[in-house]
Amino acid sequence: MEELARIVVQWAHVLGGVLWIGGGFYTILVQLPALAAMPMPARGPALAALGPRQVRYVMRVAELTIATGILQVFINPHRLLSDLGARWSIAIVLGAVMAFIAYGLLRGPLRASIERLLVTAPLAAGGDSAATAQVAVLRERIRRIGYAQMALGTLILAAMVTARFS
């Protein structure tokens, strides 16, 4: 039974990680450029429909990934603690630290920028020039944070592959 629990938790952890990192890549490389290409009157309703759902989705799969990663330490504690200092342990710890940083970016500045964009975009669509300028700044901030998360996600995946094959 213990082995089954370990397999289920590890499977949920990997699935959550794939959905988290993949969802971030999809958002930055597909959704945001598509929204930017839409005419302004259609952009606001599309952003209002997608933005909050996308943030909730990515936050939940990030939380699932982190929670199942922590749970793995409790299900199989002897491996991490007994191998401390080995390449496997170092990769796991670095991956966890980067995951917390990526989650912090999502929970903090990225979420705040998206929420601000949802408030500002309708004003810009109504012709407010100050709001239009702020939308451009917010879009660039979201893009930069998104690319930082993509880079962290790539490094996390590299750390996990290193751990897996160590």
Predicted local distance difference test score (pLDDT) of residue 165: 83
The pair of three-digit structure tokens given for residue 131, joined into one six-digit string: 């709001």
pTM for the whole structure: 0.85
Residue 134 — very low, low, confident or very high, per pLDDT cuts 50/70/90? very high
Question: Given CA atoms 39, 27, 128, 136 in this order, what sign does their dihedral have?
Answer: negative
Residue 150 — very low, low, confident or very high, per pLDDT cuts 50/70/90? very high
| Cα separation, 154 vs 113, whole angstroms | 23
Answer for the pair 94, 108: CB distance below 8 angstroms, yes or no: no
pLDDT tens digits along 75-113: 876 666 667 777 878 888 899 999 999 999 999 999 999
Residue 16 — very low, low, confident or very high, per pLDDT cuts 50/70/90? very high
Domain boundaries, the chain: 2-164
Number of other residues whose CB lies within 10 A of the CB of residue 104: 11
Predicted local distance difference test score (pLDDT) of residue 115: 92
